Amino acid sequence: MGGTDQVRGIRRLPAADNAGDTRNHLPVEAVINLDQGDPTMYEAFWRKLEYECTFVIKGYESLSYFSNPKNPCWFLEPKLEESIKSLHGAVGNAETDGYSIVVGTGSSQLLQAVLYAVTSRDQTNPINVVSAAPYYSTYMEITELVRSGLYKWAGDAHEFDRDEPYVEVVTSPNNPNGVIRGAVVNREGGILVHDLAYYWPQYTPITSSLDFDIMLFTASKCTGHAGSRIGWALVKDKEVAKRMTKFMEVSTIGVSKESQLRVAKILQVVADRCKRFGSPEGDDFFEFGKSVLTKRWEMLREAVKKTNMFTLPKYPLQHCTYTGDVTQAHPAFAWIGCNDGMEDCEKLFRNHKVLTRGGRKFGSDPGFVRVSMVGREEEFIVFIERLASMKQMVNTNGDDAAANEKGNLA
Amino acid sequence: MGGTDQVRGIRRLPAADNAGDTRNHLPVEAVINLDQGDPTMYEAFWRKLEYECTFVIKGYESLSYFSNPKNPCWFLEPKLEESIKSLHGAVGNAETDGYSIVVGTGSSQLLQAVLYAVTSRDQTNPINVVSAAPYYSTYMEITELVRSGLYKWAGDAHEFDRDEPYVEVVTSPNNPNGVIRGAVVNREGGILVHDLAYYWPQYTPITSSLDFDIMLFTASKCTGHAGSRIGWALVKDKEVAKRMTKFMEVSTIGVSKESQLRVAKILQVVADRCKRFGSPEGDDFFEFGKSVLTKRWEMLREAVKKTNMFTLPKYPLQHCTYTGDVTQAHPAFAWIGCNDGMEDCEKLFRNHKVLTRGGRKFGSDPGFVRVSMVGREEEFIVFIERLASMKQMVNTNGDDAAANEKGNLA
């Protein structure tokens, strides 16, 4: 899950024609918004497949609430179910045999459906929801949104020591810091939800096909179609899947048919062109994503090194079963630590007209910020340029020129 | 809002080619599901406009979370906003000048957004949510879904006598019984939400352009595009609209772009072909809907009259500012009362393989059922045939042949 905050007052940029040299569009004083993980980086790839991926629906199609009344998840389009299975099979990142698939309006809604599904109206106290800090800032917002009596936010899983029932959200790779994670609390009766939004080959080496009880994915981070609001859950327990479906039924009476059908088409295109099936060079979506992110991470590490002001996580080299390469992670977000003495890293960036999300929102230190790596090329380049200019300005002002590496966050 | 329940085990029918003679498709023993208000009746109209209403989106379009960052409702597509305004202007059923528009994943989600927006995290007790019985069965489900500490279901507005803050949902025309309604509690400080899902010319005479504080509409019931899950709220208070937007942001990070853009196109087609602008015969969507529903209501009233077993609401004749005619309502649901002695009307229909929604779910009497009038033609015809057969069977069995009219529910 990527999340988004209010963006009032922020000037948006015209769509780039490609991910290449479009800097000229951007005024020198433009505010660069890297707060949200808006995955517009992928536009360039999808422009190349204009015809294969065009989705057409006639005025009389999909009027009904129902997609497949034979499926307990009666609003799931059969084509989407099929292409989700194809894609996981092609990538090898998650098992689907024996799982129920529940579709959601993004994976945020699916997390709420899980919380509803694993709790009971009869329980006396709300169940604790935890996640290891730094955690995705939206988990807390979701859990606390309407002050539910079924569940409550209990913060950092590392600090959870109550002898009470709990749900732990395990985000792997983690948002914000890209780290591969496992459960932290590990107590009997705990319920685990694996948010695997970023467990795709462009972001991290795929090391095994996962088979956890509840796994969440989203089109936003897989293919970049954030505007479609399509997430899916792979759920082992049929009763949990049914209760999740009930939540979606009351909450939104299902999920947009147009989005489901379009995403079905796109996921199938991605699955059919996977390199492991001998697809021609340039056709593999994940190769494209990985190559852009690899380049961006190199530029970022280079700039950070020169400034001597910031730290970045390091990721281990691992064999990726999808690409066949030994590679490190190139996450969708950079988790940037400011060196000692700079207390509010978000403010520092804001002063340079770069919007980031400060560490406190992730249950962490304000000396960190999360920066989106998946936005438009022109914005990313300006961000890198400003990183360099920050060095000069800070050095000139003598604010902080210390250069202590904060160590390996991974 | 129409709502839907589980439909496991119910055989669905193939799509009819038109709303005409397609009875042959339906096995004699087929279960007819008229529980949900699935608006498939409108397929026939949209088939005629195949080319005007075809929606096309390319693979690279609408990747971003954002639709219009200048709008407080940053995920609302400008084209949808425009066509919503056009349509209300053309129909004359609601004011839009000075209103904020908030889009939702159906109007169910918008009601949740309203409840979030008008309550406060600091309040000691949850606010009471009421609606006059018979009320739309989903309001209770929505309000109680996650045992919110912000709001709680307090039942029938007629019986609400506590001196406490409250939200009253006013559904007009009412679901299930098609009656035009106003607020019931009328106490100072009460918050009114007007659910106007059915305030369109095919269902009821349009008598004025409404200008309530919070008005909810949905494409499901306006044009029949229930699968798109698009609802909209017209909201007078900008701060309420902003808080509703915040709810949508956390709950689902916005609303499907594909659905918004497709519904925008369809609403604009409807607006452009409104009879009042001199559109040729047969092009007016509302005229089509009204003519089908008028015919169905005539068939239903005729069948009910012959059985001597049931009652139907009567609706006053009123001048419709849209059509210019003096006409009565032809609601999307029939609220059928069973005559004295038949205690469980839903069961009676179920025994004849017709699924309806029993009165108890609407906070009313089990001697009533709600029956969808907006389904496929072939199903409606079988329903009417079974009504007749019910008479014979019940008469033969001597269960109940009394014929007391229950009076005018309107």
Domains of chain B: 23-48+284-397 (3.90.1150.10), 78-275 (3.40.640.10)
Helices (H) then strands (E): counts for chain A: 10, 16
Q: How far is B406 from chain A (nearest CA, A)?
A: 33
Distance from CA of A45 to the nearest CA of B (A): 8
What would the pLDDT profile of B321-357 be if each residue is shown by its tens digit? 999 999 999 999 999 999 877 789 999 999 999 999 9
A121: left (phi over 0), alpha (psi -120 to 50) or beta: alpha
Which helix (DSSP H) or strand (DSSP E) does residue B384 occupy?
helix B377-397
> Which 256-315 residues of chain B touch chain A by CB within 8 A?
256-259, 262, 266, 269
Q: Write out pLDDT tens, residues B29-53.
A: 899 999 999 999 999 999 999 889 9
Query: What pLDDT sits at residue A45?
Result: 96
CB pairs under 8 A between A and B: 264
* Cα A230 off chain centre by: 13
Q: Does the N-terminal peptide bond of residue A173 adopt cis geometry, omega within 30 degrees of 0?
A: yes
Asked if B216 contacts B197 with a C-beta cutoff of 8 angstroms, the reply is yes
Contact residues, chain A, for B264 at CB < 8 Å: none
pLDDT of residue B341: 72
| Angstroms from A115 CA to nearest CA on chain B | 9
Interchain pair A66, B150: CB under 8 A? no
CB atoms within 10 A of CB A382: 20
Which of B3, B59, B70 is closest, CB to CB, to A46?
Answer: B59
Model confidence pLDDT, tens digit, residues B166-208: 999 999 999 999 999 999 999 998 999 999 999 999 999 999 9
- How far apart are alpha carbons B81 and A161 in whole angstroms? 49
Cβ-defined contact of B255 to A56 (cutoff 8 Å): no
- Confidence (pLDDT) at A2: 43
Chain centroid to CA A158: 22
Distance from CA of B262 to the nearest CA of A (A): 8
Q: What are phi and psi of A368, to 5 degrees?
A: -120, 155
Contact call for B59 and A50, based on CB within 8 A: yes
Could you give the dihedral angle defined by the CA atoms of residues A207, A212, A215 and A217, in that order, rounded to the nearest 10 degrees?
10
CB contacts under 8 A, B 188-207 vs A, are none
**Residue contact A108–B259, C-beta within 8 A:** no
Inter-chain contact A59–B53, Cβ cutoff 8 Å? Answer: yes
pLDDT of B331 reads 98
Confidence grade of residue B244 (pLDDT, cut at 50, 70, 90): very high
366-405 in chain B: CB under 8 A from chain A: none
What is the residue-level pLDDT of chain A in tens, covering all 410 positions?
444 433 333 334 344 334 444 445 788 889 999 999 999 999 999 999 988 999 999 999 999 999 999 999 999 999 999 999 999 999 999 999 999 999 999 999 999 999 999 999 888 999 999 999 999 999 999 999 999 999 999 999 999 999 999 999 999 999 999 999 999 999 998 999 999 999 999 999 999 999 999 999 999 999 999 999 999 999 999 999 999 999 999 999 999 999 999 999 999 999 999 876 666 667 899 999 999 999 999 999 999 999 989 999 999 999 999 999 999 999 999 999 998 777 899 999 999 999 999 999 999 999 999 999 999 999 999 999 999 888 655 544 444 333 333 332 22
Give the integer Cα–Cα distance in Å for A112 and A108: 7
Mean predicted confidence (pLDDT) in B94-110? 98
Residue that wins the pLDDT comparison between B395 and B59: B59
Q: Between β-strands B55-57 and A55-57, what pairing exists: parallel, antiparallel or unpaired?
A: antiparallel
Chain A residues within 8 A of B46 when measuring between CB atoms: 58-60, 63
B62 and chain A in contact, CB less than 8 A: yes
DSSP 8-state symbol, B347 = H
Of the residues B1, B250, B272, B283, the best mutation for testing chain A's interface (the one with the most A CB atoms within 10 Å of its CB) is B250
Angle (nearest 5°) at CA A335 between A332 and A339: 155
Contact between A267 and B268 (Cβ < 8 Å)? no
CA–CA distance from B247 to each of A96, A97, A114, B1, B172 (Å)? 32, 35, 18, 19, 25
With beta carbons under 8 A apart, name residues in chain B contacting A69.
Answer: 7-8, 10, 12
Positions of E strands within B148-295: 151-156, 166-171, 191-195, 214-218, 230-235
Q: What percent of chain B has pLDDT over 90?
A: 81
The reported pLDDT for the residue numbered B393 is 54
Whether residue B229 and residue A253 make contact (CB cut-off 8 A), yes or no, is: yes
**Scanning every residue of chain A, which has its alpha carbon at the shortest distance from the alpha carbon of B49?**
A59
> Burial of A216 by CB count in 10 Å (0-12 exposed, 13-18 middle, 19+ buried)?
buried
Q: How far is A251 from chain B (nearest CA, A)?
A: 6
The region of weakest confidence among A7-16, A116-125, B57-66, B94-103 is A7-16
Query: At A183, phi and psi to the nearest 5?
Result: -65, 150
Chain A interface, best mutation among B32, B49, B65, by max A CB count within 10 A: B65
Handedness of CA B24, B30, B34, B37 (dihedral sign): negative
Angle, CA of A348, A351 and A354, to the nearest 5°? 85
Side chain identity at residue B193, one-letter code? V
For residue B148, the chain A residues in CB contact (below 8 A) are 146-149
The residues in A 1-20 lying below 8 A from B, measured between CB atoms, are 2-8, 10, 12
The answer to whether the CB atoms of A256 and B259 lie below 8 A apart is yes
Chain A interface, mutation test: which of B55, B252, B262, most A Cβ atoms within 10 Å?
B252
Q: Tell me, what's the pLDDT at B276?
A: 65
The closest of A125, A108, A321, A326 to A233, measured between CA atoms, is A108
Chain B residues closer than 8 Å to A40 by CB: 63-64
Q: Cα–Cα distance between B242 and A214 in angstroms, integer?
A: 33
- Contact map slice: A 151-170 vs B, CB within 8 A: 151
Residue B389 parent element (H or E)? helix B377-397
